[in-house]
Amino acid sequence: METKNYFTLVVFSIYERSYIFLYVLDRMKSFFRSIYLLCFSF
């Protein structure tokens, strides 16, 4: 019971971190795209 609960907690924390990482990556992608468009608009 305890080990299962701990395992669930670990999996959830990993999932949460990866979700945050994916979100940040997506934000960076849009940010770089805007820079790219800005550079090539001149």
Mean pLDDT by 10 residues, the chain (42 residues): 85 92 95 92 73
Rounded CA-CA distance 12/18 in Å is: 10
Rounded CA-CA distance 21/14 in Å is: 10
Which residue stretches of 1-42 are H helix? 2-40
pTM value is: 0.51
What is the pLDDT, as a whole number, of residue 14? 92
